[in-house]
Each structure stands twice: as structure tokens, then as C-alpha cells.
Structure 1
Amino acid sequence: MESNLRVVLTTALAPIAWGANYYVIRHTLPADSPLWGSALRALPAALVLLLVARRLPRGAWWWRSAVLGTLTVGGFFLLVYLAAQMLPSSVAASIMAASPLVLAGFAWLLASERPTARVLAGAVVGILGVLLVVAAGSGAVSGWGIAASASAMAMSSFGFVLAKRWSDDTPVVASTAWQMLFGGVLLTVVAAVAEGAPPALDAKGVAGAAFVSLIGTALAFVVWYDGLRRLSAGTVGVIGLLNPVTGVLLGALVAGEHLTTWQLLGIALVLGGIVVGQQRSGAKARRAAAERARAREPERVAA
């Protein structure tokens, strides 16, 4: 149980960092260069992780990394960047609240991982909390921004479940580095063609880019994928509800946004949903992990 709790707490670092990304991107990086902003997030993270992993893809991981890099890095980062520039931090982060249900649905279809009643209950409670946070929020809401955020949520959920389905004994740092590299190179090429030279960054922009790339991307994706390997996709998705909570709290602490009573209640519901959604016995968790490993065995042999 203690080990399971440690994994949950470590995984929680990812949505906290992603929630912070919305604020950092919106307030430190240029709004008129979304492709370069996304490339500057992915490529440095990939290079740092490659230095740590010190290995290149082999066999099926070449095409798997390309697919995952397109879904969870190339398209996802661009859509998140656009959403962060067009929506208030709290709203942009809160659109991702549906991800527990979407992630659990993809996991059921692609990984034969049926969501438990506890996970579904935690997701529903958490989503209700997010709705309170969003309804009480302030700021202009762009329809295109909502579309970008919702598309990012669906694309990333699909990619995360594929990564879970394809996980093997490859170190998580290495597999994360490979997809970051594919996605980062794709974004860099498209950015150079569509936007020309990269934007000039002042000291504030450099600091923001460093945070988004190293903390909000390299570290966040490694702990997230590690959590997906050790926990059910639905459980990890519910933990992801810390994303909007972080966005709202940063808006209050850093930007001076006022938190209403309804927002505080919403945050409490989100935290309660996370607690409900991640509780399961260590024995059940180990049995589920063993079943997933057995289900992937024929695919590993074929690869």
C-alpha cells in the first residue's frame, strides 16, 4: 500500500507541472509563435532525456516512437500552446477535466482495462468539482481555445493509452525521450517552414521556456508514463484532475485572481475525487498489473 501511494504521489507531479505550464506559457512566451513555442518545449526536453537514457530505439520502437511523438508531443503541444494563449489559465486547464473518462474509455477499448466503479465515481466527483471551478471563473472564453484544449485532451489520452499498451522492459526515460525527439523534430521543421526564424526571447522568456521544457515536459512526462505502467489508466486519469486545481491556485497566488466559495468547494471536490479514484488494495493492483503483462506478452513476442 505504501509503495502504491508513493507511485500515486510521484505521478501527481505531472498534472501539477502541466497546470503550471498554462500560466507560464501565457505570461512568459510569445503568443504569435505557437509552433516555435511548442518546438522549444519538446526538443530541449528530448535532448536532456536522451543524455540520461543514452540509447536509441530498436525494432518496433522506431515506428511506435513516431506515432506517440505525433500524438502526445507534436499535435498535443501545439494545441495546448494555442489553448494557453486563447483561454484564461484556469479554464484552459479545466477543459482537461474530462480526461479521466476519456482515458479510461480508450484503455477499455485498446488495453482491455475495464474501469472500476471506484475510478468512475472518483472521476464523476472530480469533474463536478471542476465544473464548479470553471463556472465561477472569470475571463474571456474563446471557442477556438476550447476546441484546441478539447482536441489536445482527446489526442493525448489516445496516445497515453497506446504508450501503456506498448510498454515493455524499455526504460521509461528512454521511451519518453524517443517520442519527445520525434515530436520535437516534427515541430521544429514545421515551425521553420510556417513561422520562419525562431522568436527572440528575453530573460523572462528563457526562464519560462526552461521551466516548461525541463519541469513541465521532461520530468512531467517521465513520472506520468511511469504511473501509467504501474497504475490503471483510469486511476492515473483521475490523478490528472490536479491539472485544473493547479491552474486555479496559481491564478490566485500569482496573478491575484479571487477565489470564490464555489471555486473552493470545487477544488475540495476535485481532491476528494482523486482520493476516491485511486484507492484500491495492493493485492488487486498487483493482480491487474500481472494480467496486463500477460496480455502484452504475445505482442512482445511478435515485435
Structure 2
Amino acid sequence: MRAKDNVTRRDAITGAALGALGVLGFSMSLPATRLAVEHLDPWFVAFGRAVGAGLLALAYLTIVRAPRPTGAQWRRLAVVAAGVVAGFPMFTSLALQVSTAAHGAVVIALLPAVTAGFAVLRAHERPAPAFWLAGGAGLAAVLAFLILGGAVSGSLGPADLFLLAAVALCGLGYAEGGALARELGGARTICWALVLSLPATVAVTAWSALHHPPHAPAAGWAGLGYLTVVSMFLGFFAWYGGLARGGVARVGQIQLVQPVLTLAWSALLLGEHVPAVAIAAAVAVLACVTLTQRLRAAPPAPPRLEVVTPRAGEPCS
């Protein structure tokens, strides 16, 4: 795969490790959202998590004395905020009012492919054909596993449309944020996006709390707390750092593992059914993810040496 900037083997390995850490954190987002929206208004969950994370971000930026972004960077941060601060939390919260976290994992399986597509448009990366084949095989393995395992049932409904919108906006936010993190760093990219969003997120959260006073058991607040601290804040430190170092398209494919992890958390935390074929699907997905990493991280071929035949009468050097 050829990208706008060269990725060394060390950067590729570090990027993959950071990306995997981010995916581990994100994998519990849908179950945590499901726990929260069972007791709290979905608008409060979607934007309240952003308010809490925004305050953490403001504290972080103040402590490290981060320089303010430029005008062009603010515009790109607005794209990040629209995708991952507002769009994805809002649409997943609305969807998981009526859908299970396991069902949501089906649609979220499309996210790596969408992220790779936006990597071409926004991060100016050019994945090789073999990369698309490996990523497509991983996506097919995830979808086959989820469909055959019974995680998909019924026809396309409003929840699926909400999830599709969440995936589209999240893929855009990932690609834009990953590219911008090459300039700002992963932590400052998500922190500035959260701070930029604070006026809107505070307003929506206050409106929701006024019309639907928040009351929830400990499990509901724990779900919201996880979404605030991990899904919306710390997870992006690793995720955007990984995308910046290893390439948006390549590292984004690590999210093929996320649906399988999400189903495991759904079974553990929510008691939702996970079929026995999960192990086979996980092995297939991990194989495809490994292939996408190797394709991207392969070092360039050594330059060819030209053999010059001396002309008649010229000395050989």
C-alpha cells in the first residue's frame, strides 16, 4: 500500500499495537451504551458522555499547555467532532433503545471498510488491491459469523438505519482524525474536538436532563461512566495515535476484531446469546487482520543494481 507519507516498520508495529488497544477499549462501547439507555434518555447518554469527556479534555490541554490549533486545523476538528463526538454516540444511543448490542455488532462490522474508504478520500492513502482483498475477506468472515450465528434477525428497521448512519459518520471521523493526528498527536486531536463540541454538547445534555431527569441504578451510571472515560476519551488517545503512526486504512482493519469482542462482552455483561462458531470466526478474522498489517508494513524492495557493460576500448573499473 502506498500512502502520502512513508510508514516505517517500527511505526507500523507501534501503530498496530496502539490501534489494538483502542479497539479493546471501544469493543465494550455498545454493551455499555445498552446498559445506559435502558435507564437514561438516549440524548443524555449520547451528549452527556461528551460533556464529561470534554471537561477531562479541557483539563488535559491545560496541564500540558497545548498550543491552539490553526484555522485550517479547527475546520478539520469540526469534521472529527461531527463524526465521533456527536454522530456515532447519538445514532448508536438511539438504535440501542430497541436493538441488542449483539445486533449492533453486525452493522459495526462495516466500519473498517468505511474507514478505509474515507482514508482514500481524506487521508490520501492508496491501498493496494491485495489489501482490499484481505480486508474484504475479514469483513465477509465477520458478517458470515454474525448471520449464521443468529445475531441478525428480521428485516431492515429504524435501528439498522441509525447504526448505518453511525458507521458512516464514525468512519469519516476516524479517517479525518487519524490524518490530523499526524500534526497534532492522537491525544490533542480528540481533546480539541471534544472542547470544540462543548457548547453544543452541554446545551443538549441540559435540555435532556430538564425534560427527562436522569435516574438510573448503578449499572446505568457505570455504563455512562465507561462511555465517558474510555470510549470517548482514553480510547481515542491510543486509537488516533495508532492511525497516525500506522496508516488510517491499515490500522483501521484491526476493528474487524471488534464485533467478536463486542459479542463476548454482550454475553458476559448482558447475558445475550453468542454462538459457538465465535472461535472459528475469530481465527479467520485474526488471520485477515494479520495479513492487512503485513501488507502495509512490508518494507520497500531494495533498489535494483544495473550491470553496465563497458564499451570496447573502455577500461573496467
With the length of structure 1 as denominator, give the TM-score of the two structures: 0.83
Pick aligned residue for 1:57 from 55, 58, 68: 68
Query: What does residue 175 of structure 1 align with?
Result: 189
Instruction: Name the aligned partner's letter for residue 49 of structure 2.
Output: R
Please report how far the alpha carbon of residue 56 of structure 1 lies from its aligned counterpart in structure 2 after TM superposition: 6.0
Extract unaligned runs of 5+ from structure 1: 285-303
Please report how far the alpha carbon of residue 23 of structure 1 lies from its aligned counterpart in structure 2 after TM superposition: 0.9
Query: What does residue 33 of structure 1 align with?
Result: 41
What do the CA deviations read for 1:62-86 (whole angstroms, capped 9, x no partner)?
Answer: 3333332122211221012122333
Residues 97-246 of structure 1 mapped to structure 2, 5 A cutoff:
97-135=109-147, 136-138=149-151, 143-193=157-207, 196-197=210-211, 198-246=213-261
Instruction: Name the aligned partner's letter for residue 50 of structure 1.
Output: L
Q: Secondary structure at the match of 1:90?
A: helix
With the length of structure 2 as denominator, give the TM-score of the two structures: 0.80
Instruction: Name the aligned partner's letter for residue 60 of structure 2.
Output: V
Instruction: Name the aligned partner's letter for residue 19 of structure 2.
Output: T
Number of positions where the alignment pairs a residue of Structure 1 with one of Structure 2: 284
Q: Tell me, in whole angstroms, the C-alpha distance in 2 between the residues paired with 1:194 and 1:41.
A: 13
**Mean Cα deviation higher: 179-188 or 204-213:** 179-188
Query: What does residue 103 of structure 2 align with?
Result: 91
Please report how far the alpha carbon of residue 47 of structure 1 lies from its aligned counterpart in structure 2 after TM superposition: 1.8
Alignment pair present for 1:281 and 2:293:
no
Alignment pair present for 1:250 and 2:261:
no
Query: What does residue 18 of structure 2 align with?
Result: 10
Q: Secondary structure at the match of 1:201?
A: coil
Q: Secondary structure at the match of 2:172?
A: helix
Please report how far the alpha carbon of residue 247 of structure 1 lies from its aligned counterpart in structure 2 after TM superposition: 1.2
Q: Tell me, in whole angstroms, the C-alpha distance in 1 between the residues paired with 2:266 and 2:178.
A: 33
CA, structure 1 residues 3+221, in 2 after alignment: closer, same or farther (shift >3 Å)? same
Please report how far the alpha carbon of residue 274 of structure 1 lies from its aligned counterpart in structure 2 after TM superposition: 1.1
Query: Post-superposition, which runs of at least 4 consecutive aligned residues in structure 1 deviate over 6 A?
Result: none
Q: Answer 1 or 2: which has greater helix percent.
A: 1
Q: Secondary structure at the match of 1:220?
A: helix
Query: What does residue 24 of structure 1 align with?
Result: 32
Query: What does residue 83 of structure 2 align with?
Result: 71
Extract unaligned runs of 5+ from structure 2: 1-8, 301-317
Q: Tell me, in whole angstroms, the C-alpha distance in 2 between the residues paired with 1:93 and 1:260.
A: 14
Please report how far the alpha carbon of residue 215 of structure 1 lies from its aligned counterpart in structure 2 after TM superposition: 1.4
Instruction: Tell whether the 8 Å contact from 1:42 to 1:73 is kept in structure 2 after alignment.
Output: yes
CA, structure 1 residues 116+160, in 2 after alignment: closer, same or farther (shift >3 Å)? same
Whose radius of gyration is greater, 1 or 2? Answer: 2
Q: Tell me, in whole angstroms, the C-alpha distance in 1 between the residues paired with 2:133 and 2:272.
A: 30
Instruction: Name the aligned partner's letter for residue 137 of structure 1.
Output: G
Instruction: Name the aligned partner's letter for residue 299 of structure 2.
Output: A
